[in-house]
Amino acid sequence: MTERTLAIIKPDAVGRHLVGAIIQRYEEAGLIPLGMKLMRLTKAQAEGFYYVHKQRPFFDSLCSFMSSGPIVVLALAGENAIQRHRDLMGATDPAKAAEGTLRKAFGTHIEHNAVHGSDSPESAQYELGYFFSALEWPQR
C-alpha cells in the first residue's frame, strides 16, 4: 500500500551539512519527497510535535535540541513507507543502529540521532498535518 510518512532531518545533521546525503538515501530507497521545507522550530512548536513524550525524562532536552537550529521536514511517499523508513533510519541510539542505516551513518548520540520518522499510521497522520497543509501536496 502506498503510504505517506513524515521525516525530519534534525539540527545536528543540518548543522553538519548532511541534508543532501540524507535526501539521496531516501530517494535511493524509493521514499519520494512529496513536500519539503527548511525551518526552525520554537521550543513550544517542538513540544507540540513531541507531546506524546511529555512525561519522558528526556522531553525538555529533546525539545531544546529540536529548536536549537534549522531542520528539514519532508513528507515521503512510497510502498509501505512508514515501516520502510523506520528500517532505513535504524535504532534510536546510533550506537545500537545496524550497519547501513541512517542513524548508524549520521547519528552521534541517542538524542542527536540525525533523523526522525513517524512510527505508525496514526503518528504519520498527526505529524504530516503538523507541518503540511493539504494544499501543499503536488499531484504525483
Residue nearest to Mg ion (CB): 119
Among 113, 124, 128, 132, binds ligand ADP (CB under 6 A): 113
Q: With contacts defined by CB under 5 A, name the span among 24-32, 35-43, 55-63, 115-123 that binds Mg ion.
A: 115-123
CA pair distance 123, 93, nearest whole angstrom: 20
92 binding partner (options ligand ADP, Mg ion, none; Cβ < 5 to 8 Å by kind): ligand ADP
Contacts 24+ apart (CB under 8 A), 63-67: 65/10, 65/11, 65/12, 65/111, 65/112, 66/10, 66/11, 66/41, 67/40, 67/41, 67/42, 67/43
Binding string, 38-67, against ligand ADP, x = CB under 6 A?
---------------x----x---x-----
Question: What amino acid positions are annotated as catalytic residues?
Answer: 116
Where along the sequence are the contacts to ligand ADP (CB under 6 A)?
Answer: 53, 58, 62, 92, 110-111, 113, 116, 119
